[in-house]
Amino acid sequence: WAWRSWSSLSSSSSPSSSQEASSSSLRVKPKNSSSSPHQERLSLGLSLRDKYELETGTTLMTGIQALVRVSIDRRALDERLGLDTCGFFSGYRGSPLAGMDQELARNGELLAQRQIRFIPGVNEELGAAMVWGTQKIATKDVFGIWYGKGPGVDRAADVLRQANATGASGGVLALCGDDLAAKSSMLPNQSEFLLEHVEMPFLNPANVQELRDYGLHALEMSRASGAWAAMVCSADVVDSSGLVDLDLEDKFLPRLEKNDGRRPGGGGIITRDGRALYTGNRLETERVARQVRLPKAMEYVRRHKLDGVKLGRPEAPVGFVATGRAYHDLVDAFDLLGLGGGRDDFCVYKVAVPWPLDKESIRDFAAKNKRRLVVVEHKRAFIEPQIKDALYGHSNVEVWGKTRGEQPFLSDVKSIELHDLARAVAAALDFDSSYPYLRDGDGGVVAAAARHLEEHVAEAEKKAMQGTAQRRKPFFCAGCPHATSTKIPAGARALPGIGCHLMAETTGDITDGLPAMGVEGAPFIGQTPFLGDKTTHAFVNLGDGTYHHSGSLAIRQAVAAKSANVTFKILYNDAVAMTGGQPHDGPLTVDRVVRQVQAEGVAKVAVVVEDREKDLATAALCDVVHRDDLPRLQKEFAATAGVTVIVYDQACAAEKRRKRRRGLAPDPPKRLFINEAVCEGCGDCSVQSSCIAVEPVDTAFGEKRKINQSLCNKDFSCVKGFCPSFAWIETTGKKGVAPPRVRKASDEVWAAVEGAVDADLADLADGPITKKRNVLVAGVGGLGVTTTSAILGAAALMEGVAVATLDVTGLAQKNGPVTSHLRFDDVRGAPRIPIMAADTLIACDALVACDAGVLATLDSRKSLVVANTRVMPTADFVTKGVRADADYGAMKDILAKSSRALVEVDATKIAEALLGDVIYANVVCLGAAFQRGGLPLSAKSIEAAIEANGASVNANKVAFKAGRLLAADPKRLYELLGLPSEDTTTPKSLAEKIDAFAAELTEYQNEAYADRYRRAVAKVRDVDDDVDDDDDFEGRRRRRTTLL
């Protein structure tokens, strides 16, 4: 949390002058500037005001920012056309559109200057209904933008269908977030079929540039046709960042639809007053939708040539058809097969609008000397059947896609992996013997390349399995209230809900499968008439965000059923933590929740609190108990007939931490430590707290426990166990000032580290780069992996280098595996780094780096790996006591075999010793990767990007320089920090160990006590002559010492 997300960079978006405040137009960067080229690049697009106000040039944007930019550019275009329009946003958050509401709220003032308003929806259908309403205003033309993730699209279907039937006047864009790989969803999402069902034309962008461009086209198409228009926003596109050409003059102004100068659209509205849907015209909507609006939408697609051949000659005999992300995946597959430079015998037809498909253009494409069409699309076939329908009776061209004749061809589950796609490309081209790259049918280089890719992926999967059985899984943040609130009595049944608390599945405190959002507990209600005496009661976890969204209806259903004995645990965290820590959409307090459920008629309510001294108004309404009494309370409520509710009131640990850092919440003036000399390593502290900040530590007396002060959020649940090893450190000075996490180095040491780098290490990559470079960052969610990526992206922008990035997070942001992909200079393909294409892997966590997907990107002939030797504990350590770092040796061997060079650095130790916080370990790794030539950027640009980020600037710059020195001269860095050099440590002999422990026992008690120890060890030595090499003996000796 020393980092801020790049999307919140320079978050102050208010204008600095009244003149700027009164302007609603875009700001143009002065062309005649006296600043240097480097300074000009530094100022271009690095603040939110540049991202949203610059009119020309290029800037680095996230997918979310590009979607916000759509509204600003739409307003600017209308203003130039003399149209007085307004804009309106609404919807509900959810990955991959989880940050949409935050970005809109952050820039509320900037948007308001342009007459664009944002009102978040309590849920998806209510948000869609509000956007629907904007198209019924008789006195004002408003363009509306709705957003929701895939499941939200499903649940809002009825509103979307009716709103689309009514039509659009100012234009509507529906943003549908599809999580194809279910990274943060219960099931994979594919919105295409539902959009077809509600008869809504939609576009499918392939990159960040197209998110902006297609968004503008969608709104214009909506105006031209009178229908709503949608856009599929897949995670790999929205979660990426890329350079966006901001130009509007050449791209859009000459091509805008002509109108009367007063109305922006309104085509095809079929109502009495032009804006409403009545029972009298409801059947007429079918005719207008299919015979008026959809043809007009198709006319727009053809007129603007949105679909067409983007690669190769249109007359090539083999034609590939792709849309969205699949298009860039196809480009990468060509490159992997060595076909990136030659396209005489095949071409690619890119579909911008998958529905309704431009069948006329597809027929023309097939008629141009085509022998075969190969349709590439992820998930179920959507375009393929439309193409077959379009060609039926018109062409005999073969169409391959999910099937090749009667045989399966491309997968319709998960995503099409690149090696599978490469094999499909080879198969499609191998059939054509005239293809110039093939030597013969079986031994052609294309087919051979495809086989090699498959073998490489299989080998990566094998390595991952051989290296370690450990996997880094998402888990509760340190001090998460859910780690306590979701615990249940032995033998109890617990049903999960949607939210971070579903990770209780890892701790065994969930006994049933996951439900859809808003129906928590309802499956159990349906079971109760048939269960008999088998299960008479169940607990149901219900997050406060879900309760506010729709979950309150589940409680109403349980009361109405009159047959269920069920306890709803409403987990009140004061934030929607799973999607970014947003506040609730409207007032929601513990007092309100209690009153609401009481009004529903539940049998009993109680509130559980973290702080015994917390003053709650609910004390007059129901029982208020401390969280230590939760086990008793749950047993009481389980024995109570009917529907009961426990409201567990404890703020989200991550949000509490952020507020403390910003001075918005009090920070308890104390810290908790474990005295290793007293600790027996029993692990009860982990059992009591389920806290990831309780970590193993190896001592001369064996494995003990410590509290990682960098992660600790001061929940202090770990002290609930009966253990004398805990020690408190409290400040006695100013109230609310907490003691430091870990002692950091002095300012003089910081200066010495910086001085050593500045004096002796050159800026290795000063100036622009000319060759492409792929860099992959792998680490633990919540520790700054994605912001490290964003810093590199900003540094590339400063140097004028094209860059595309992709952050793969989802639920993994909660202590799970997170990767960030960066592709420099050549960004034709997808932002995700292809197989064997990674030039540099920055392994901030070796366990994540040893995942099969990461290993598959490495090439032992060219890849450089910089690995942090410290492996953080996983969820398995908390729940099972299994250590991940025990397998580091195997991980090291795997990374060494998979790369041309492996650079090991203990970045965590340096971060703690120099800066007092492990959060800086990723930046230390970044510095080491730079020093070893792994980054195609200059140190000057990287440091400038850190400065522009504005969070803990000095500390992050020192961490970056420390990483450089660690890679170049580790001995010197260790000397500056006063750390013992690791390569000078020699293991003690057995006799030395025995003497050392005897001295310890003498100091602890007396010599007689030490003699008892020596005699016990001597008995074992008499039995075994080879004790020096006996690991089992060493273990017995250590246990005997600990016992004494």
pLDDT tops 90 at residue 148: yes
Tell me how far apart the alpha carbons of residues 385 and 802 are, in angstroms, rounded to a whole number: 37
Find how far residue 673's CA is from the centre of its chain. 32
* DSSP per residue, 901-912: EEEEE-HHHHHH
Tell me how far apart the alpha carbons of residues 350 and 358 are, in angstroms, rounded to a whole number: 12
Cβ atoms of 852 and 460 within 8 Å: the answer is yes
Place of tokens 């108004």: 617
Q: HSE of 656 in the Cβ direction (CA atoms, 13 Å)?
A: 19
Residue 1025's pLDDT band (cuts 50, 70, 90): low
Q: In the numeric block, which tokens belong to residue 897?
A: 């075999």
Q: In the numeric block, which tokens belong to residue 199?
A: 């008869």
pLDDT, one tens digit per residue, over 337-373 is 888 765 678 999 999 999 999 999 999 999 998 999 9
Cβ atoms of 795 and 943 within 8 Å: the answer is no
Tell me how far apart the alpha carbons of residues 261 and 256 are, in angstroms, rounded to a whole number: 12
Output 434 or 59, whichever has higher pLDDT.
Answer: 59
Q: Is 227 left (phi over 0), alpha (psi -120 to 50) or beta?
A: beta
pLDDT tops 70 at residue 1030: no
Residue 182's pLDDT band (cuts 50, 70, 90): confident
Residue-level pLDDT at 738: 59
Residue-level pLDDT at 997: 87
Residue 263: CB atoms within 10 A of its CB come to 13
pLDDT tops 70 at residue 508: yes
What are the Cα distances from residue 1003, in Å, to 81, 120, 1010, 1044? 87, 66, 9, 13
Residue-level pLDDT at 584: 75
Residue-level pLDDT at 1: 21
Q: What are phi and psi of 971, to 5 degrees?
A: -60, -40
Q: In the numeric block, which tokens belong to residue 336?
A: 């992997």
pLDDT tops 60 at residue 1037: no
* DSSP per residue, 180-221: TT-SSSSS----HHHHHHTT--EE---SHHHHHHHHHHHHHH
Residue-level pLDDT at 397: 94
Q: Mean pLDDT, to the nearest integer, of 364-389?
A: 95
Stated as kind and residue range, the H or E segment containing 109 is: helix 108-112
pLDDT tops 50 at residue 502: yes
Q: Which is nearest to 7 in space by CA: 73, 51, 39? A: 51
pLDDT tops 50 at residue 297: yes
Exposure class string for 7-23: b at 16+ Cβ within 10 A, else e: bbbbeebebeeeeeeee
Burial of 530 (0-12, 13-18, 19+ CB in 10 A): exposed
Q: HSE of 891 in the Cβ direction (CA atoms, 13 Å)?
A: 27
Q: Which of 102-116, 616-630, 967-981 is least confident? A: 616-630
Q: Mean pLDDT, to the nearest integer, of 781-799?
A: 88
Residue-level pLDDT at 1038: 60
Rounded to a whole number of angstroms, the CA Rg of the chain reads 31
Q: Mean pLDDT, to the nearest integer, of 908-915?
A: 94
In sequence order, which residues have a C-beta less than 8 Å from that of residue 780 and are 6 or more positions away? Answer: 472, 815, 816, 817, 818, 844, 845, 848, 872
pLDDT tops 80 at residue 639: yes
| Eight-state DSSP code of residue 810 | G
Tell me how far apart the alpha carbons of residues 843 and 472 are, in angstroms, rounded to a whole number: 14
Q: Which of 39-43, 84-88, 421-425 is least confident? A: 39-43
| Percentage above 90 pLDDT, the chain | 56
SS3 content of the chain, % helix, strand, coil (to 5): 45, 15, 40
The residues pairing with 568 across neighbouring beta strands, listed in sequence order, are 540, 645
Residue-level pLDDT at 1020: 79
Q: Which of 52-61, 75-84, 217-226, 594-603 is least confident? A: 52-61
| Percentage above 70 pLDDT, the chain | 85
Residue 1042's pLDDT band (cuts 50, 70, 90): low
Q: What are phi and psi of 633, to 5 degrees?
A: -65, -40
Output 21 or 611, whichever has higher pLDDT.
Answer: 611
On average, the pLDDT of the chain sits at 85
Q: Mean pLDDT, to the nearest integer, of 645-653?
A: 93
Cβ atoms of 832 and 874 within 8 Å: the answer is no
Strand 817-824 and strand 803-808: the pairing is antiparallel
Cβ atoms of 628 and 551 within 8 Å: the answer is no
pLDDT, one tens digit per residue, over 813-828 is 678 899 999 999 877 7
* DSSP per residue, 263-316: -S--TT--SSSSS---GGGTTHHHHHIIIIIHHHHHHHHHHTT-SEEEES-TT-
Residue-level pLDDT at 994: 87
Place of tokens 């960040």: 208
pLDDT tops 80 at residue 231: yes
Residue-level pLDDT at 1026: 55
Q: Which of 372-386, 723-737, 958-972 is least confident? A: 723-737
Q: Which of 334-338, 511-515, 579-583 is least confident? A: 579-583
pLDDT, one tens digit per residue, over 823-879 is 998 777 789 999 999 999 999 999 999 999 999 999 999 999 999 999 999 988 998
Tell me how far apart the alpha carbons of residues 264 and 499 are, in angstroms, rounded to a whole number: 41
Residue-level pLDDT at 825: 84
Q: Which is nearest to 868 in space by CA: 920, 809, 832? A: 920
Output 151 or 499, whichever has higher pLDDT.
Answer: 151
Tell me how far apart the alpha carbons of residues 934 and 918 are, in angstroms, rounded to a whole number: 22
Residue 740's pLDDT band (cuts 50, 70, 90): low
Residue-level pLDDT at 11: 34
Strand 643-649 and strand 604-609: the pairing is parallel
pLDDT tops 80 at residue 15: no
Q: Is 121 left (phi over 0), alpha (psi -120 to 50) or beta?
A: beta
Residue-level pLDDT at 993: 84
Q: What angle do CA 74, 79, 81 make, to 5 degrees?
A: 100
Residue-level pLDDT at 653: 87
pLDDT tops 50 at residue 767: no
Tell me how far apart the alpha carbons of residues 567 and 541 are, in angstroms, rounded to a whole number: 9
pLDDT tops 50 at residue 438: no
